[in-house]
Structures are given as structure tokens and as C-alpha cells.
Amino acid sequence: MTLINIKINGQELQVEEGITILQAAKKIDIEIPTLCYMNLKDLGITHNPGGCRICVVEVAGRRNLAPSCVTKVMEGMDIKTHTMRVLNARKTVMELILSDHPFECLTCAKNGNCDLQTLAQTLGVREIHYQGEQSSYKSDSSPAIIRDMDKCIMCRRCETMCNEVQTCGVLSGINRGFTAVVAPAFEQDLIQSPCTFCGQCVAVCPTGALTEQDHTNKVIRALADPNKTVIVQTAPAVRVALGEEFGLKPGTIVTGKMVAALRRLGFDRVFDTDFAADLTIMEEGTELLSRLTKFLAGDKDVKLPLLTSCCPAWVKFFEHNFPELKDIPSTAKSPQQMFGAIAKTYMADKLGVKREDLIVVSVMPCLAKKYESQREEFAVDGNPDVDYSISTRELAHLIKQSIGDFKHLPDEDFDKLMGQSTGAGVIFGNTGGVIEAACRTAYEIYTKKKLEKVEFEQLRGFEGVRSAVVDFDGLKLNIGIAHGLGNARKLLEAIQKGESEFHAIEIMACPGGCIGGGGQPLHHGDINILKARAAAIYREDEGKAIRKSHENPEIVKLYEEFLGQPMSEKAHHLLHTEYFDKKKKIYIEK
């Protein structure tokens, strides 16, 4: 590493050769404003197209201003970050961007949480000196994501997430000049494209151009209907992130307050998706053992590796991109859908309400869950197993709208019968968590021995693709883990080529797993927030009295009273699903 000498705002410093002015300034705590720039360095994601020109600085001897996010430092460089010329240029750039941006801030879904709005305030824009035509595009409303491209500023962060990180290839810059915009091929709607609805584009959009399909009003209407019994389930990753929306430190566990808030919102029962996660482990773990046993007995037709199937974006990803592998993933439904199926049968009976009078709401860190809940196969005679899926952000809005105060709520417990969960259910929220939960149960069932240490540390971590060997009393299981769909693609291509040695693979579409989901409070590029949430998930697991799914008394009771055995006919009917080939076919005339 070669060090070079530079000067920033008169301060002399030594920095490594090859870094940008922006990075160098950060080292001495000089904040240069940015807009299109995005750096999620622990995930290996940098997006610096140098397009917006907000981060310009003055470099002595250089005729024009330099965009600091793409200009590398050079020996002897003399940089000034906030001269009159720089401040004026930034303001002009901002005014030009705003001159083609709708003035709908007060009614925009991103109001108060918008990078563009914050920056306009920071730069002190009080007037827009440029007026002209404003671009107008058709809006696109899918089951999970709304695209309002009139608000797009062409930072193209979404494109990086969609193409480089997730390798979905749905979004691309199209057209040129004034009509340039980010869109799917042929400007089709997302629902016609191979979009997985992972929501990572929404998570990084600096404006209101990409937002979630908001179901809060539908939930309020259901809660107000005296003829409906409304129950709610909350996913594991929600409880470690919801607090951020109320000013609590990232990684604060707010399970008890969240339950209290949901009760005050008027839900008749507050249940836990973690319960359904435990149920998923019973089914998926049994399926894994059944495939393994056949494999070890020499059955050549058995499909391995088993791929986890709880992530709906991942499911849609392989349906579009790897349909030929569609009989490899576990047939187990996701926890959200298992919860819905059990709620509208077992729980409806217990509560004495008819299926159509029971409304199941889910709170998810995810946008793909909205799409999943609307898949045709998850409905009975048109009545969906899960009626409305709302994101962590939407729940925060509901609480702010109806209760206001969150921090001072008491801690309350989930309701009985579908509210008890184990540490294994909780860790579903982290990358590596589902497969760790499966190992805790599968180990004990396979070896008939008690697990001394429930933590499988080798399965944890943040690298995009991980592999580990888990020892089942002499039987060595090769486990693969991927988070981020681009990483998943690498493992799938290896399977296609017959190069995969894995017995089981866990895949989560979002970086970090569900804690980094597209429906979570916006992290604005700060990866430490994801790490704090991940640590909180493991803390919540450690605090649980029961940490293995098969020991959950409510799960035991559910099988005794209702389902019989894991993979029984009834369990198969209610808790398993099938996958479809969604690859676009090119029609050729014979």
C-alpha cells in the first residue's frame, strides 16, 4: 500500500493511493453530500456512477469541479470541499434535479424519509430558478411494489441492486435525454417481468419513485368491521427493527411493545410467525431427513441438495431463472403461508368463526410476502390464507397514526395456541438461521441424542456464500448458505453443472437475510444497522427458554390434535406447495 500526501481544506494528510476524494474526506470526518452514490461495503456493493454531480469539490489546478465519489486522490492534490463555487454548483445541480421532480412532498409516501428532501434541506434550496417541462411516465402498480417514475432522479441505485446484487435483470436505464428512465424491458409492468419483488430496489431508492404497495388502510378497515375477527402474525425480523422507526437504537428488541401496540390497534389475537417457523422446521426438517435417508440407502433418484423454501422472492427467482430445478426445493410452504393455512382451519375452529369472517394479517420485513400472499395456490375458493401482508414500515405508520407513543408501551406476551415459539423460530430472520434451526431439530431426530450445544456457529456470518460441515454423529452434512440472489445464482449454477456437493442449501433473497428485507426501516446505506439487527436476533434466541422447534409445546399440541405427523396427508395438504415454471418462452412458429 502506497501512501500519498494530499490536502483537504488546508489540512494535510496521508492516504492510500487509489481511494476517492470522498473516501479521503471521510477519514478526517469531512462530510461531502452525495445523492446517487451508495456504498454497502460489507456486502461488496458500491454504486458510484458519478451521475448526479452533488458531490463536486474544487481541486487546485483543475479547470472544472471534480465529482468526489469517482475522482481518485493524487499526490499533492489540494482539495476544497465547500468553497462558494462548490456550494453554488451543488445548489444549481439540486435545483435542476428538482425542476423535473413533482412537488408532492406532503402527500408522498416517502415524506420525511426521503434522501432528496433531506438533501434539498441541507443544501438550503429555497427557490427553484429553472422551470420547464416535467417528465411524465405511466405508473405501475404490482402486488408488492409501486413504481412512480415521475419521481425518479436517475441515480440508478435500483438498477445496481436489481442487476449486480440480485442478478434479476429486471430494471435498466432506457431511452435517452429527457425521456430517459429506469424501467423493465419494453416498459412493461413489474408483474409481467421476472421481478422477484425482493424489494431491494425500494430499500435503496432515495425518493418516492419506488415504494411498497401500502395495505394499512385495508387493515384499518378490517379492524373497524365488527363482523370480522382479525388476527395478526409477526415475523422474527420485525421485532429487532421496528424500534428504529421510533428513534430507538438499531438492534433494540421490541417484541413486548410490538405485541402491546398490535393489541391496542384492535387485533383480536396477536400471534407469532415464529410459531409457524417452528412448524416449517418440523416439515422441512422431516423432508430433509427423509431425502437423506433415501440417499444414504442408495436411491439414485432422490433430489439433493434440498433447498429451503421460506423466502418468496427466492422462490419466484428460481421459478423464472431455474425452472428445471423446481423439484429440488423443499415443498414446505413459507412460515407466513403455513400460519395462514393453520389459522384458517385449526384456529378458525378454535375461535368458532367461519373462514370468510377471519382476517389474517401478517407483519413482514418483506415486500415479496405481499405477492406471496396473493398467489392463487394459497387461497381456498378465492379466500386467501393470508389476507393482508404489511411491512415493518407500514406497521410503524399504523402505530404512529393510531397510538402515537410506542416507547412507553408495556411489554406484553403473544396469545396462546399460535403464539409460542422457540429460539429456532427466531433465528429465521438471519442468514443461516433457517438451516441452523433445521439442524437443531434434524440432529436430535436423526441421532436420537440430545444436542449439547444448540448453536451451530459455523453456519453464522455475513459472507454472501458460505459452506460448513455439520456432524450428525458421524454423518457429515455439507451445508451451503447464500444470501442475496446473485450469490444464490452461483450455487444454483453449480447444481446445474452437477458440481454441487451440498446436502442442503439455505437461500435468502435479501442481503443479511430477512433483517435486511425490502420492507424494513430504511438503512440509508449503513450496514452497521443490519449487523445490529442480526446480533439482536441471536440475543433473542439466547433468551428463549426453548430453543428447538420440536420442543415447542404448542407445535406438539398442534400435531397431536390436528395434523398427526409431520408430512402426514393433512400436513401435506395444508403445509406443502408446488412450484411453477415461469421462464418466459420465446414463441416460434413451426
Of 152, 310, 439, 510, the catalytic one is 310
Which segment (51-59, 436-444, 546-554, 580-588) binds other proteins by CB under 8 A?
Answer: 580-588
DSSP 423-453: HHHHGGGSTTHHHHHHHHHHHHHHH-S--S-
**Residue 356 among the catalytic residues:** no
Active site residue 155: no
Q: Is 497 in the site for other proteins (CB under 8 A)?
A: no
User: Considering the rule CB under 8 A, would residue 172 count as an interface residue with other proteins?
Assistant: yes
The one among 174, 248, 445, 546 contacting other proteins by CB under 8 A: 174
Q: CB atoms < 10 A from the CB of 494, how many?
A: 17
Residue type, 557: K
Cα–Cα distances in angstroms (integers) from residue 110 to residues 84, 144, 148, 204, 380, in the given order: 31, 16, 12, 12, 35
| Residue closest to 426 by CA, chosen among 557, 553, 282, 549 | 549
Binding mask 178-217 for other proteins (x = CB under 8 A): -----xxxxxx----x------------------------
Tell me: does residue 163 bind other proteins (CB under 8 A): yes
C-alpha cell at 553: 409445546
Q: Is 540 labeled as catalytic in the residue annotation?
A: no
Q: Which residues pair with 232 in a beta bridge?
A: 270, 361
What is the C-alpha separation between 231 and 223, in angstroms, rounded?
A: 9
Q: Which of 289, 290, 337 is nearest to 309 (CA)?
A: 337
Active-site choice (69, 201, 311, 514): 514
> How crowded is residue 293: how many other Cβ atoms within 10 Å of its Cβ?
12
* Selected catalytic residue, list 110, 369, 370, 548: 369
The window from 174-182, 442-450, 481-489, 527-535 that contacts other proteins (CB under 8 A) reads 174-182
Catalytic residue status for 75: no
Given 159, 284, 394, 506, the catalytic residue:
284
Kindly report the number of other CB atoms within 10 A of residue 35's CB atom: 24
Which x/- pattern, by CB under 8 A, does the window 116-155 give for other proteins? ----------------------------------------
Binds other proteins (CB under 8 A): choice among 40, 171, 289, 510: 171
Q: Active site includes 330? A: yes
Q: Which of 76, 124, 173, 553 binds other proteins (CB under 8 A)?
A: 173
**Would you count residue 589 as binding other proteins (CB under 8 A)?**
yes
Of the candidates 377, 457, 493, 542, the residue annotated as catalytic is 377
To other proteins, the closest distance from the beta carbon of 171 in angstroms equals 6
Query: Which of 24, 73, 97, 170 forms a contact with other proteins (CB under 8 A)?
Result: 170
Burial 330-361 (b: 16+ CB within 10 A, else e): bbbbbbbbbbbbbbbbbbbeebebeeeebbbb
Nearest to 367 by CA among 235, 502, 198, 205: 198
Q: How far is the CB of 185 from other proteins (least distance, A)?
A: 4
d(CA 284, CA 67): 51
Task: Specify the DSSP class assigned to residue 237.
Answer: G
Residues 432-491 that bind other proteins (CB under 8 A): none
Of residues 84 and 588, the one with the C-beta less far from other proteins: 588
Q: Where are the beta strands (DSSP E) in 93-187?
A: 140-141, 145-147, 172-174, 181-183
Give the nearer residue to other proteins in terms of CB position, either 141 or 192. 192
Q: What is the C-alpha separation between 321 and 579, in angstroms, rounded?
A: 13
Least distance from other proteins to the Cβ atom of residue 162, Å = 8
Q: Is 31 a catalytic residue?
A: no
Which residues are designated catalytic?
284, 287, 310, 330, 369, 372, 377, 514
Site of interaction with other proteins (CB under 8 A): 163, 168-176, 183-188, 193, 584, 586-590
